[in-house]
Amino acid sequence: MNKNIDWSNLGFGYIKTDYRYVSNYKDGKWDNGNITTDETVTLNESAGVLQYAQTCFEGLKAYRTIDNKVVCFRPDMNASRMADSAKRLEMPVFPENRFIYAVKEVVKRNIDFVPPYGLGAALYIRPYMFGTNPVMGVKPADEYQFRIFTSPVGPYFKGGAKPITLRVPDFDRAAPLGTGHVKAGLNYAMSLHAIVDAHKQGYNENMYLDSATRTKVEETGGANIIFVTKDNKVVTPKSNTILPSITRRSLMYVAKKYLGLQAEEREIRIEELNDFKECALCGTAAVLSPVGKVVDHGKEILFPSGMEKMGEITKKLYDTLTGIQMGKIEPPEGWIVTIE
């Protein structure tokens, strides 16, 4: 580990690492792909991504475990979700086995940027693809580039494990295209105004409601949501317009199989918030970030777990999930992929 990085004080931002992966799609096929040191992308002025935002991305992390191995968490799930995103956006699928190979390769090359064990930091891995050739009419591009870069990151929310505050915004995020289930660039751009506005008003994030009825809880700008009922059941919104979070699917499994809790995916009405005792955001970047309070147009809902610490069940979920990721707890088969 010879990189001059202050691992303990990393935020969630871009730090250039040494290598990235690139593969190009042309004449109906992907080339062999290669590792490069060039972090720049040069595009035609009318490239499909620039005109019609034909792009999608993924996000996963590499961790250093307690026995100093470097591992990735469920990269096969990211490969398959990216395939879904590509199909939804009329892009060619980057083969899932090649996706996993490329993730491993790019982490291996940047191994010195994987933070040491125990500091709460990780190497974030960002696979993405975009239409590269000129398009004028509204139609898919014929040529694409798939890339993966990495960046060492710390916690997504400043302040570590301190509970955060959400607000219910007036703005929809996924509604304009109804494509909340893909990690597509355009959808995220549609959320930027709501995020900037939330921060201006002192909130950490937005809790979006369903755009059809605006009565049901969906997710936040960069993470899914889980709640804990007063009788210790873990519940999470059922919706086909939110991103199907890999962390959330893993947590529901952990709740049932490791902690013996009931866990249920179901519709959650905004009025129900008063009935829950804990709330947290879950995602690769957010891990499991406790929520202390939600503000819905002036009405404050303070969860009984409060604004000082993680709720008891949230903490158990957090310790078990991160224990599995850090090699302290036996993982379910296939969850941990060793890189080096």
Catalytic residues: 183
Q: Pick the closer one to ligand PLP by CB: 19 or 57.
A: 57
Single out the residue of 242, 128, 241 nearest to residue 185, CA to CA: 128
Q: Least distance to ligand PLP from the beta carbon of 187, Å?
A: 8
Q: Least distance to ligand PLP from the beta carbon of 96, Å?
A: 16
Q: How far apart are CA 231 and CA 292, in angstroms?
A: 18
Q: Pick the closer one to ligand PLP by CB: 142 or 319.
A: 319
Q: Pick the closer one to ligand PLP by CB: 123 or 243.
A: 243
Q: Least distance to ligand PLP from the beta carbon of 58, Å?
A: 8
Q: Pick the closer one to ligand PLP by CB: 59 or 323.
A: 59
| Site residues for ligand PLP per CB under 6 A | 59, 219, 222-224, 243, 245-248, 283-285
Q: How far apart are CA 99 and CA 298, in angstroms?
A: 45
Q: Least distance to ligand PLP from the beta carbon of 30, Å?
A: 24
Q: Pick the closer one to ligand PLP by CB: 245 or 289.
A: 245
| Cβ atoms of 218 and 205 closer than 8 Å | no
Q: Pick the closer one to ligand PLP by CB: 25 or 63.
A: 63
Q: Least distance to ligand PLP from the beta carbon of 246, Å?
A: 4
